[in-house]
Structure 1
Amino acid sequence: MKRNVRKTMKSLSQNHCIIFSAVVIVIALILDPLFVQIFSLLEPGEYLPKIMGQIIPGILILLTIRCILPKQKIGFARKGLLVGIGLGWIFIIYSVINLDISFISQHGIIMPPLATTAGFVIYSISIGFYEEIMMRALILNNFILNWGHTKKGIYKSAILSSGLFGIAHLVNLFYTPDLKIAIMAQIVYATTIGLFFASIYLRSKNIWAVIFLHALFDFAASFKEVFSTAVNEITDITVGNAFAFNLLLLPLAFIGLFLLRKVEPVNIKDEINKPNYRR
């Protein structure tokens, strides 16, 4: 039975890779809050349930990769890490801007308990781990396996996987239905960032690089909620602010497309079937 399940998953991932990707995303989005609720019953603190809601689905996705892409390189080695971070230098600048220093300076900075600080940092990393393992290590790699033998296929893989990454943020409407404009904006800029991350991953062949960049951005985005004395009011943004924020991030899409120019098409199937192939 196990062999039949694996065969079915592999067939679906190869013959209907977009449907397969959508199914993976939906299942992951269900598992995330499920594990959060399960671990919340233990009353372990604010961040542990959230962390487990990211880590456990991420591990399950890694097992899925081993099942359908057993010889596919994921990029857990150190090789390419500095290359990836170097290519993403502009994103580090965006992350610093995202800290919103002016807001924090107006309202003051607090130092929360060490456990809260550690939990926040680990949670930011766990988001990067979970989302990059799913979107780049599994979905993008699977698209490349199917279409990456041509330049057009490489662009198609990067753009489609990024689009799915953006659309996945629609789930936030279930949790914060009053933030419709903010979530629509998030879908657009997540697609833009996803394309940039896809190019970084394909150029560096290192998953840690995009996990780091992703975690840094999420850390910066939520920094003022943890380290600022301001009361966190959840209100929607204006259409103008949504447009301005996406316009600010738009260069990342063009940089991503530019970086993809140096990603060479390869015969993926022949490559991963080499006798001495290693992860």
Structure 2
Amino acid sequence: MKTSLRLIKYLGAIVLSFILMTFIPSLVLSYINFTNYYVMVSVYLLVIIGILVVTVIVCGEKKVFAFSLKSFKDTFVIGGVMTAITAFYLVTNIYTAIKEYGTPLMDGKTIVLFLLLNFLGAGIREELLTRGVWLTFFRKAFGNSKASYIVAMSLSSILFGAIHITNLDGAVDPTPIYAQIIYAIGIGFFLAALYLRTGNLWGNMVLHFLFDISLMVKPMIYGNRSDMDVLIGEWLGSGIILKSILISVVSVVIGLYLIRGDKFKEIAEVE
């Protein structure tokens, strides 16, 4: 395919899918009167996921949905740094939560719904959008050189950070949300490299979901809190912006290491 046609196809698909995601979910909810918050959010997320799935299929990129048990397991091995951090936070936060609260303040049914929404939102929607569509389509649009891959990774990661701007809504202190946007860019770059190495988006979805839950389990499930800005501030502590920059830089460095030399050649050959 000619470069110009490739750019029109993939960049056009990114723009069109974004427009559809902006208007169609809200339109659906306006026609269907949901009284249950969790049902409403679930439908909203499912509509977005549906738009993304159709976009991937129509553009002939069904490989995004490829799955194998080996590559799924590779996600947690190759992404060992994030796997270890996730396991650490999950274990320590559950331990301290039990000591502090005993049992979760969030009731059992709400916990299940909370986990479901986070898997649909952070796991499936964000990974399908940022790595499945944005990373894949930018990469297809710009070509098969390493520089093109890094540009695609960078753009998709910057956009991944930018979508967290919505967390400013209702935030009393915007600084922690700015910090979240900064470290999300770096983590997004790492997750982009991880997906390129494994070719298994499902592994990314699960690891992303577990990482988020590892940070939320104590304050949200056990503490039944929802003040995102305060929670991020408590997690990062003093020097929040500097720490978020450090997290972002380290994540980018690890991401670049994952696609180094021969590893990039293997990725490019598969493509």
Q: Which residue does the alignment assign to 1:276?
A: none
Matched, 1:259 2:249: no
Matched, 1:145 2:137: no
1:259-278 equivalent positions in 2, closer than 5 A: 259-261=258-260, 262-264=263-265, 266=268
Of 149, 153, 158, the residue aligned with 1:154 is 149
Give, in angstroms, the shift of residue 235 of structure 1: 5.2
Give, in angstroms, the shift of residue 193 of structure 1: 0.9
TM-score, scaled relative to structure 1: 0.77
Residue 165 of structure 1 aligns with an amino acid whose one-letter code is: F
1:36-55 equivalent positions in 2, closer than 5 A: 41-44=33-36, 46-55=37-46
Report if aligned partners of 1:144, 1:153 keep a CA contact under 8 Å in 2: yes
Q: Which residue does the alignment assign to 1:94?
A: 85
1:52-131 equivalent positions in 2, closer than 5 A: 52-68=43-59, 70-79=60-69, 80-99=71-90, 101=93, 104=97, 107-111=100-104, 112-127=106-121, 128-131=123-126
Is 244-253 or 75-84 further displaced after alignment? Answer: 244-253
Identity %: 22
Residue 80 of structure 2 aligns with an amino acid whose one-letter code is: W
Report if aligned partners of 2:86, 2:211 keep a CA contact under 8 Å in 1: yes
Give, in angstroms, the shift of residue 67 of structure 1: 1.6
TM-aligned CA distance change 1:263 to 1:225, over 3 Å: same
Q: Which residue does the alignment assign to 1:221?
A: 215
Q: Which residue does the alignment assign to 1:8?
A: none
Give, in angstroms, the shift of residue 143 of structure 1: 1.2
Give the SS at the match of 2:63: coil
Report if aligned partners of 1:109, 1:229 keep a CA contact under 8 Å in 2: no
Cα RMSD (Å): 3.2
Give, in angstroms, the shift of residue 15 of structure 1: 2.9
C-alpha separation in 2, matches of 1:163 and 1:266: 23
Higher helix share: 2
C-alpha separation in 2, matches of 1:53 and 1:26: 15
| Residue segments in structure 2 that go unaligned for 5+ positions in a row | none
User: How many corresponding residue pairs?
Assistant: 255
Residue 133 of structure 2 aligns with an amino acid whose one-letter code is: L
TM-score, scaled relative to structure 2: 0.79
Residue 83 of structure 1 aligns with an amino acid whose one-letter code is: D
| Residue segments in structure 1 that go unaligned for 5+ positions in a row | 1-10, 272-279
Report if aligned partners of 2:144, 2:268 keep a CA contact under 8 Å in 1: yes
C-alpha separation in 2, matches of 1:131 and 1:234: 18
Q: Which residue does the alignment assign to 1:200?
A: 194
Give the SS at the match of 1:218: helix
